[in-house]
Structure formats: structure tokens, C-alpha cells
């Protein structure tokens, strides 16, 4: 591993991910940017996960694995974060991975060129359990301008592919998808067919203020000090988007700047038999949207909006 700065740290919490972890690890070790470390917290897996991890640690000295019981995914990520030495941070799930071998390099280039920026993100893709790339997530598909994918967006086929039509439980899974189709989500699917540029920096703030759009967490390359300041600690397992929503809200309301790349950054695995956490996620999303709306109303009484770099130095001030 190269010794020069900046150093990229990837934190990853896994447990019983033997079916997918090889592809995840290959997406990291295939990166063209050499100066990275991968910190994996294994929650005492009982399948072949640890065997596979140990194979990689024997080949790559910049991969560290700790295996011990934990209190869930966020606890594992917390422990991994404490071991990192890098300036820039990625978060990764043991069932997902990066699509672009130059992804680390692309993110670092942006952060070097734009020192006022604290976060770089890209377009997340969905992947089936059997490794089929299904298409970009509907909430971000309209920003995709990646020639490798011919600028295609397939939000409908992505949704349909979540159902195993040959399974006896197909009607139940289809019903779960239909029940998720709120007017807000239907609108996002419709708008995904119309391309637009990603709003950058302060323009992203105003876009977020209007839409509440969260960052796709596994695409994010964040300056570590900013990540630490804006991430809520989660000692208990929740298996929800609460951590991402908290980070997005804190990041934007405190005035940090983000930069989006219209490229396929990572894939996230879609699980047909996954937990149905619709009710809890709906409650969290509604609470998050209310917080955004309250903050939007609060801004009406302010004369200026200040934007900060990662050192919390004011880099831009806009009159409201």
C-alpha cells in the first residue's frame, strides 16, 4: 500500500455475508487508487464469512478484520470508525460494492480540486441477489449520465425485479411493492425519466431544502472529520435509514457543501425475502420530512445563509 496522503478509509460491518462478501471485497481491491485501508467488523459470523475475510487479509495488508459479537450494524460501523486513519471515509455493506474501479480516484480528484467541498456522491444502482445489475435507484436515476449505461433509467423494471415471479410468495412481495407507492415515490419514478444536471454545492443545499433528498450512503466519500461531527451514534441495531437521514439533515443544516458525480458509483443488493420494515421506515421518513420543513420555515427569519468547509471556516455567505 502506498504511504502518501490522502488516505482513504472504508468501514464495513458484516455478519453471515459469505454469499456476497467476495464480490464486495473484489470491488475494493480492484480500485485504481492505491492508498486505502479497509476496516471490517465481523459480528461473529457463523457461516464461511470469516474464512473468506481471512483469505483477503493474507493477500492485502491494508485490510483489517476484527471478529467479535456486537450490537448490530451501526455498532459495528462505530467500532470500525474508531480504527480508521484516513482523511476520507467510505461506508460499505458486506453485500454491496463499487461499480467503478476508478471511483475512489474520481472522488479524491473532486475533493482536491474543490477544498470547500466536504462530500462527494454518485448514482446508486440496484443489483439482484444473483448478481444481475438492475438499474439506478429511482430517486437518483434522473442524474445519471454514465455512457457505460447509455444514460438508461429503468426504475419500473428495477421495482418489478424485486419480485421472484416463480416463487409461491410472489403475490405477497408484489403487494409490498405496491403498498410502498406513495404519491411522493410515484412522482420520483416519473421524474427519473427526465435527465437533469446534479445541483452542486450551495445549489444542492437549496435542492435538498425543497426535496429533502438524502445522500446515497454507500456512494458517499466524506471528509472524516465532517462525518464524525454529523453522524449520530447508534448502539442498537435498527436496520433502517435513520442514520443516513440524521447525517443528511445535520450535514445540510450546518452548511457543509456536497458535490455530485453523474456516474454509477456503487451497487446495493436487493433482497426478495428481506425484512418488511415499511411501517418503521415510513415513520422515520415522515419525521425527517417534518424536520426539513421546520428548518425551511426557520430560514425565512434569517438574513443570510452561511456555508462552511470541513474546518468550519465560512467559504460562502448568501443573503436570503
Domains in the chain, CATH or no CATH each: 8-319 (3.90.550.10)
pLDDT of residue 132: 82
d(CA 107, CA 102): 9
Q: How high is the pLDDT of residue 177?
A: 59
Contacts of 84 (CB under 8 A, 6+ apart): 9, 11, 37, 39, 224
pLDDT digits (tens, 9 = 90+) for 26-68: 999 999 999 999 999 999 999 999 999 999 999 999 999 999 9
At residue 231, does pLDDT exceed 70?
Answer: yes
C-alpha cell at 208: 435538498
Confidence grade of residue 100 (pLDDT, cut at 50, 70, 90): very high
> pLDDT tens, 259-295?
999 999 999 987 655 555 566 677 888 899 999 999 9
The cell for 313 is 471556516
Q: Phi and psi at residue 218, in whole multiples of 5°?
A: -85, 0
- Which of the given ranges, 4-8, 158-162, 205-209, 214-218, has the highest pLDDT on average? 205-209
pLDDT of 22 > 90? The answer is yes
pLDDT of residue 191: 61
Higher pLDDT among residues 226 and 183, named by residue: 226
* Model pLDDT, residue 134: 80
Distance of CA 240 to the CA centre of its chain: 13
Q: Quick one: pLDDT band at residue 84, thresholds 50, 70, 90? A: very high
Residue 3 has pLDDT above 70, yes or no: no
Residue 202 three-state SS: helix
pLDDT score for 17:
95
- Nearest alpha carbon to residue 127 among 257, 269, 11, 9: 269
What pLDDT, in 10s, does the model give residues 157-196? 555 555 555 666 556 665 665 666 666 655 655 565 677 8
* pLDDT score, position 15: 94
The Cβ of residue 25 has, within 10 Å, a number of other Cβ atoms equal to 23
Contacts of 301 (CB under 8 A, 6+ apart): none
Distance CA 248, CA 211 (A): 12
Q: Are 219 and 92 in contact (CB under 8 A)?
A: no
Amino acid at each position: 500500500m502506498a504511504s502518501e496522503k490522502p488516505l482513504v478509509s472504508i468501514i464495513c460491518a458484516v455478519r453471515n455475508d459469505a454469499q456476497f462478501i467476495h464480490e464486495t471485497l473484489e470491488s475494493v481491491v480492484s480500485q485504481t487508487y492505491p492508498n486505502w485501508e479497509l476496516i471490517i467488523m465481523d459480528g461473529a459470523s457463523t457461516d464461511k464469512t470469516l474464512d473468506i475475510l481471512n483469505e483477503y487479509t493474507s493477500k492485502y495488508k491494508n485490510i483489517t478484520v476484527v471478529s467479535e459479537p456486537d450490537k448490530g450494524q451501526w455498532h459495528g460501523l462505530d467500532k470500525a470508525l474508531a480504527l480508521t486513519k484516513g482523511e476520507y471515509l467510505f461506508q460499505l455493506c458486506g453485500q454491496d460494492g463499487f461499480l467503478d474501479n476508478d471511483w475512489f480516484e474520481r472522488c479524491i480528484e473532486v475533493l482536491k480540486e474543490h477544498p470547500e467541498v466536504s462530500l462527494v456522491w454518485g448514482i446508486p444502482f440496484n443489483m439482484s441477489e444473483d448478481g444481475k445489475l438492475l438499474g439506478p435507484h429511482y430517486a437518483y436515476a434522473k442524474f445519471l449520465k454514465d455512457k457505460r449505461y447509455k444514460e438508461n433509467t429503468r426504475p419500473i423494471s428495477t421495482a418489478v425485479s424485486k419480485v421472484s415471479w416463480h416463487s409461491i410468495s410472489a403475490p405477497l412481495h408484489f403487494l409490498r411493492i405496491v403498498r410502498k407507492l406513495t404519491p411522493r415515490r410515484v412522482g420520483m419514478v416519473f421524474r427519473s425519466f427526465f435527465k437533469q444536471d446534479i445541483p452542486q454545492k450551495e445549489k444542492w443545499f437549496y435542492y435538498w431544502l425543497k426535496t429533502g433528498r438524502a445522500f446515497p450512503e454507500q456512494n458517499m466519500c466524506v471528509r472524516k472529520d465532517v462525518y464524525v461531527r454529523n453522524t449520530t451514534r447508534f448502539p442498537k441495531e435498527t436496520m433502517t435509514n435513520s442514520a443516513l437521514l440524521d447525517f443528511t439533515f445535520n450535514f445540510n443544516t450546518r452548511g457543509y457543501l456536497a458535490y455530485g458525480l453523474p456516474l454509477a458509483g456503487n451497487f446495493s443488493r436487493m433482497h426478495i425475502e428481506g425484512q418488511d420494515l415499511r411501517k418503521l421506515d415510513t415513520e422515520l421518513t415522515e419525521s425527517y420530512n417534518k424536520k426539513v420543513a421546520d428548518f425551511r420555515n426557520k430560514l425565512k427569519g434569517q438574513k443570510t445563509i452561511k456555508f462552511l468547509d470541513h474546518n468550519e471556516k465560512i467559504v460562502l455567505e448568501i443573503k436570503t
